């Protein structure tokens, strides 16, 4: 790597950093320059995301820093606090669940949220400031620029989403960006004159600090998708995880509703300050989680029945069509 070529000029540089995000064209650039592309691993998130932004205009039922994500039987729903007294609310069904196409309509979106009392309470204090936006086709991705011990390029490094993307519901983008940026600074500081060792050091950092979270997210998403497909589409049930020596993310998250140590374990994973294998195999934590699960944990968010959900998806959409036809 000698620098970058733009439409207007060529800019010499010893180091080029790709921070262009999940839509990076890095591999195309490498191929067009006569090089090899990186190695990209992918695992589907499998969900479609219907989201809307709101401003807080009333008396909210919880702090504005609220971040609640609930994995219901037929879809995921979440609310996230933002800047300047704004909130984002999202529905995330299976991407293949065509029933939710109707949720593009703001009235349908609101009706579905209204079937969940917790989110209905939030809606009483919110004023929409956007239409419903739709996002889909997302994958967990991991890009490596060293293949079989050989860098595909010297002097070009990726950070943030250009290295790894994971399910946006988990909000790890900022942690990934900070981790890869600091790893790159360390690699350049340790090997300021050797681009080969820089590339190897950066790849080693990705293997240690990033790859485990990609693998963990891929496994977590696969389990969640299997459960949704069973419930929504009648697919066979996945084999349950019953090992007494470890827990899954779903088990840990469930126990976190009632156990403080499990709650800390969840956020160690979410914030990327605890290695997945260490958290899932911590003997004290594993024992606590299994004890809580065996005792039974009540649901904290009441979810709609299938009939209630489909009524919200159908009847409100029909009324919306009638209003448009009459206008």
> How do the domains of the chain map onto residue ranges?
3-37+138-215, 49-136, 240-295
Helix, strand, or coil (residue 12): strand
Rounded-to-integer distance, Cα 190 and Cα 30, Å: 26
Calpha distance 114→311 (Å, rounded): 12
Mean pLDDT along residues 270-286:
94
Instruction: For CA atoms 79, 80, 86, 88, give the dihedral sign.
Output: negative
* Sheet of strand 139-144: strand arrangement: 39-44, 139-144, 164-165
Q: Averaged over 259-281, what is the pLDDT?
A: 94
The per-residue pLDDT of the chain, averaged, comes to 92
277: Cβ contacts below 8 Å, ≥ 6 apart: 212
Output the CA–CA distances (angstroms, integers) from residue 22 to 150, 175, 257, in the order listed.
24, 15, 33
**Residue among 180, 202, 205, 206 at smallest CA distance from 191:** 202
pLDDT at res. 237 = 78
* 23-27, 116-120, 136-140, 239-243: least confident range: 239-243
pLDDT band at 242 (very low <50, low <70, confident <90, very high): low
Residue 311 or 4, more confident: 311
Q: In percent, how much of the chain has pLDDT > 70?
A: 94
Section 191-214 average pLDDT: 97
Cα distance between residue 36 and residue 28, in whole Å: 9
Q: Degrees (nearest 5) of the Cα angle 84, 87, 92?
A: 155
DSSP 96: T
Q: What is the mean pLDDT of residues 195-218?
A: 97
Are residues 99 and 311 in contact, defined by beta-carbon separation less than 8 angstroms? no
Question: Across residues 48-55, what is the average pLDDT?
Answer: 97
Judged against a pLDDT cut of 60, whether residue 269 lies above it is answered with yes
pLDDT of residue 326: 42
CATH topology of domain 3-37+138-215: FAD/NAD(P)-binding domain (3.50.50)
- Residue 300 is classified by DSSP as S
Stretch 133-144: mean pLDDT, rounded? 94
Q: What's the pLDDT score for residue 327? A: 43
- Greatest extent of the chain over all pairs of C-alpha atoms, in Å: 71
Q: How many other CB atoms sit within 10 Å of the CB of residue 133?
A: 13
β-pairing, 76-81 with 67-71? antiparallel
The pLDDT value given to residue 299: 86
Say if residue 1's pLDDT is above 80. Answer: no
Can you give the pLDDT at residue 241? 64
> Comparing C-alpha atoms, which of 82, 81, 108 is closest to residue 93?
108
Distances, alpha carbon 326 to alpha carbons 106, 188, 249, 318, in Å: 18, 65, 49, 12
Task: Tell me the whole-structure pTM to 2 decimals.
Answer: 0.89
pLDDT surpasses 80 at 325: no
The average pLDDT across 194-221 equals 97
Could you check whether 3-37+138-215 and 49-136 share the same CATH topology? no
Q: Identify which has the larger pLDDT, 3 or 268.
A: 268
Which whole number is the average pLDDT over 45-67? 94
pLDDT of residue 100: 97
Report which of residues 191 and 242 the model is more confident about. 191
Secondary structure of residue 197 in the 3-state scheme: helix
Of the ranges 5-14, 127-136, 185-194, which one carries the lowest mean pLDDT score? Answer: 5-14
Q: What is the mean pLDDT of residues 156-169?
A: 95
Fold annotation for 49-136: D-Amino Acid Oxidase; Chain A, domain 2 (3.30.9)
Q: Which two tokens stand for residue 193?
A: 């004159």
Q: Of 80-84, 214-218, 228-232, 242-246, which range is least confident?
A: 242-246
Q: Write down the pLDDT at residue 292.
A: 96
Distance CA(49)–CA(95), nearest Å, equals 8
């Amino acid at each position: 790597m000698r620098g970058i070529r733009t439409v207007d000029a060529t800019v010499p540089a010893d180091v080029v950093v790709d921070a262009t995000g999940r839509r990076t064209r890095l591999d195309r650039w490498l191929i067009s320059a006569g090089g090899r592309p990186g190695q990209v691993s992918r695992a589907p998130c499998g969900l479609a995301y219907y989201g809307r932004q709101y401003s807080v205009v009333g008396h909210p039922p919880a702090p504005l820093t609220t971040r609640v994500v609930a994995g219901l039987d037929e879809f995921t729903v979440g609310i996230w606090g933002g800047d300047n007294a704004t909130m984002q609310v999202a529905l995330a069904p299976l991407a293949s669940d065509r029933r939710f196409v109707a949720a593009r309509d703001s009235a349908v979106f609101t009706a579905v949220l209204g079937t969940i009392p917790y989110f209905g309470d939030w809606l009483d204090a919110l004023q929409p400031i956007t239409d419903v936006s739709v996002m889909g086709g997302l994958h967990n991705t991991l890009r490596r620029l060293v293949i079989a011990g050989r860098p595909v390029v010297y002097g070009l490094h990726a950070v943030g989403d250009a290295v790894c993307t994971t399910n946006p519901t988990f909000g790890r983008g900022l942690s990934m960006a900070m981790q890869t940026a600091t790893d790159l600074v360390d690699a350049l500081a340790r090997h300021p004159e050797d681009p080969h060792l820089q590339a190897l050091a950066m790849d080693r950092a990705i293997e240690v600090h990033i790859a485990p979270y990609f693998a963990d997210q891929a496994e977590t998403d696969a389990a969640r998708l299997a459960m949704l497909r069973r419930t929504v589409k009648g697919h066979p049930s996945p084999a349950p995880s019953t090992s007494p020596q470890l827990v899954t993310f779903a088990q840990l998250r469930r126990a976190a509703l009632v156990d403080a140590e499990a709650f800390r374990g969840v956020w160690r994973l979410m914030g990327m300050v605890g290695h997945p294998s260490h958290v899932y195999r911590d003997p004290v934590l594993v024992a606590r989680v299994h004890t809580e699960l065996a005792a039974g944990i009540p649901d904290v968010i009441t979810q709609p029945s299938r009939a209630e959900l489909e009524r919200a998806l159908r009847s409100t959409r029909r009324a919306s069509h009638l209003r448009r036809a009459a206008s």
